[in-house]
């Protein structure tokens, strides 16, 4: 028997205050829930649309405890929260996804081990903890390669590419981290991601794979359907679903994959939360990723992830936000802005989705 669902009117606590929390809070509000955001930044995109907000550090025990007592369930839009903080929250209130899931997703080495242990191929990789280990790893993996911090990386931050002539001491120093992973650089045909929702009863609902194009290591566009053919699409969906089941995840899991030129899938990373490459679902699916997230975390039945349209989602990064008046003049464009005032370079300010009638290949 599944635990009884959290009824509308209850309060969902969300750790993290960015645009993912904002869009989750909007979806929660549509289903009659209240949302309480916890993050260190004042006036965060999520807090602007939430019923309540706590502004405190992720390792402030008194604030975490008060937050846990004020909400009926806790989830995350940001997974880099300390283990002790999650333990403290979980001693007071249900937390989805569980600490075990966050632990795997917080650390690139745990993540790659998880993939490989479950028969999922990744680019070749080695753990690196200093210049000597980096020399040995480059000798084994070859160049080009990418050196990544094991923790806290996002949008290409915490990554150094190692090309033919690059100095390894300098690369290690540039990373400025105690531990890293060296990965073989994949000359991929493209990148796809799959987002799966898993409910408390163990049932899964999977969105169609999205075809993702990055510019400067930041997602630029996501397109559905992904031009990868039905067999590879089915393999990607199956892979993501197996990850969610093996992790016993309740919530959402996004799995990022490289598609090799000879048609294989290599797992890059995963995130146990809504994902930028799923924003197209808001406008193109019966149930979008944020509503699915709320449903999973509250123990409600999952909705249909069916896609009714083809879609292209474009991120509005930094100064691209200035095009908003033109976007609004395009009658087919769906504009989503995140309420951020300062359009710093590389900052995700909003996105726009354009739909076309669904045309199955």
Ligand X SMILES: Nc1ncnc2c1ncn2[C@@H]1O[C@H](COP(=O)(O)OP(=O)(O)O)[C@@H](O)[C@H]1O
List residues bridging with 256 in a β-sheet. Answer: 193, 269
Containing H/E element for 97?
Answer: none
199's contact among ligand X, Mg ion, none, with CB below 5 to 8 A by partner kind, is: none
Residue 77 within binding range of ligand X, rule CB under 6 A = no
Q: How many angstroms separate the Cα of 143 from the Cα of each of 131, 162, 196, 269, 359? A: 16, 7, 34, 21, 41
d(Cα 73, Cα 58) in Å, to the nearest integer? 17
Residue 152 within binding range of ligand X, rule CB under 6 A = no
Q: How many angstroms separate the Cα of 269 from the Cα of each of 115, 173, 309? A: 9, 24, 27
Per the CB < 8 A criterion, the answer to whether 192 and 228 are in contact is yes
Give the contacts of 176 (CB within 8 A, at least 6 positions apart): none
Residue 79 within binding range of ligand X, rule CB under 6 A = no
**Out of 45, 123, 209, 350, which residue is the one contacting ligand X (CB under 6 A)?**
123
Containing H/E element for 105?
Answer: helix 99-106
Residue closer to ligand X, measured from CB, 15 or 182: 182
What single-letter DSSP state applies at residue 178? S
- Region near ligand X per CB under 6 A, out of 23-31, 174-182, 184-192, 247-255: 184-192
- Region near ligand X per CB under 6 A, out of 51-59, 146-154, 241-249, 300-308: 146-154
Residue closer to ligand X, measured from CB, 2 or 152: 152
Residue closer to Mg ion, measured from CB, 68 or 226: 226
208's contact among ligand X, Mg ion, none, with CB below 5 to 8 A by partner kind, is: none
**Out of 44, 268, 287, 289, which residue is the one contacting ligand X (CB under 6 A)?**
268
Alpha-carbon 194 to chain mean position = 10
CB 339, min distance to Mg ion, A: 24
Containing H/E element for 132?
Answer: helix 131-141
131's contact among ligand X, Mg ion, none, with CB below 5 to 8 A by partner kind, is: none
Residue closer to Mg ion, measured from CB, 113 or 217: 217
Residue 155 within binding range of ligand X, rule CB under 6 A = yes
CB 157, min distance to ligand X, A: 6
**Out of 41, 55, 151, 185, which residue is the one contacting ligand X (CB under 6 A)?**
185
**Out of 77, 107, 183, 241, which residue is the one contacting ligand X (CB under 6 A)?**
183
d(Cα 123, Cα 331) in Å, to the nearest integer? 42
**Out of 61, 83, 91, 154, which residue is the one contacting ligand X (CB under 6 A)?**
154
Within 38-57, which residues bind ligand X (CB under 6 A)? none
Residue 153 within binding range of ligand X, rule CB under 6 A = yes
Per the CB < 8 A criterion, the answer to whether 122 and 116 are in contact is yes
Residue 220 within binding range of ligand X, rule CB under 6 A = no
Within 336-355, which residues bind ligand X (CB under 6 A)? none
Number of residues that bind ligand X (CB under 6 A): 15
| DSSP string for residues in 216-245 | TTEEEEEEES-TTHHHHHHHHHHHHHHHHH
Residue 261 within binding range of ligand X, rule CB under 6 A = no
CB 287, min distance to ligand X, A: 25
Is residue 86 exposed (0-12), middle (13-18) or buried (19+ Cβ within 10 Å)?
Answer: buried
d(Cα 279, Cα 315) in Å, to the nearest integer? 9
CB 182, min distance to ligand X, A: 9
**Out of 217, 242, 264, 358, which residue is the one contacting ligand X (CB under 6 A)?**
217
Residue closer to ligand X, measured from CB, 183 or 283: 183
State the greatest distance between any 2 C-alpha atoms of the chain, in Å, as a whole number.
60
Please name which of 311, 216, 295, 281 lies closest in space to residue 251, comparing C-alpha atoms: 295
Positions touching Mg ion (CB under 5 A) are: 256
Positions touching ligand X (CB under 6 A) are: 123, 146, 153-156, 183, 185-186, 191, 214, 217, 256, 268-269
């Amino acid at each position: 028997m599944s635990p009884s669902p959290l009824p509308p009117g209850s309060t969902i606590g969300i750790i993290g205050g960015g645009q993912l929390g904002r869009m989750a809070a909007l979806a929660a509000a549509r289903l009659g829930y209240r949302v309480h955001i916890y993050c260190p930044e004042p006036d965060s995109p999520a807090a602007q649309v939430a019923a309540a907000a706590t502004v405190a550090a992720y390792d402030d025990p008194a604030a975490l405890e008060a937050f846990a007592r004020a909400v009926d369930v806790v989830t995350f839009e940001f997974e880099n929260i300390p283990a002790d903080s999650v333990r403290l929250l979980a001693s007071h209130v249900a937390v989805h996804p569980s600490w075990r899931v966050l632990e795997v997703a917080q650390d690139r080495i745990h993540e790659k081990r998880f993939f490989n242990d479950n028969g999922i191929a990744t680019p070749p990789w080695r753990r690196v903890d200093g210049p000597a280990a980096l020399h040995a790893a480059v000798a084994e993996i070859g160049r080009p390669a990418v050196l990544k911090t094991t923790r806290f990386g996002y949008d290409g931050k915490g990554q150094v590419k190692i090309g033919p002539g690059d100095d390894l001491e300098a690369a290690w120093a540039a990373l400025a981290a105690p531990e890293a992973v060296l990965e073989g650089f994949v000359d991929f045909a493209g990148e796809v991601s799959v987002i799966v929702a898993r409910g408390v009863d163990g049932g899964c609902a999977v969105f169609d794979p999205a075809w993702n194009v990055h510019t400067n290591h930041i997602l630029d566009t996501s397109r559905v359907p992904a031009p990868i053919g039905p067999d590879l699409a089915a393999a990607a969906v199956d892979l993501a679903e197996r990850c969610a089941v093996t992790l016993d995840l309740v919530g959402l899991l996004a799995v990022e994959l490289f598609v090799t030129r000879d048609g294989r899938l290599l797992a890059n990373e995963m995130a146990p939360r809504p994902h930028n490459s799923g924003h197209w679902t808001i406008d193109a699916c019966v149930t979008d990723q944020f509503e699915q997230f709320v449903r999973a975390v509250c123990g409600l039945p999952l909705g249909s992830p069916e896609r009714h349209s083809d879609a292209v989602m474009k991120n509005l990064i930094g100064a691209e936000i200035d095009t908003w008046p033109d976007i609004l003049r395009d009658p087919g464009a769906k504009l989503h802005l995140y309420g951020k005032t300062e359009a710093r370079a590389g900052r995700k300010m909003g996105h726009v989705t354009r739909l076309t009638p669904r045309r199955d290949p």
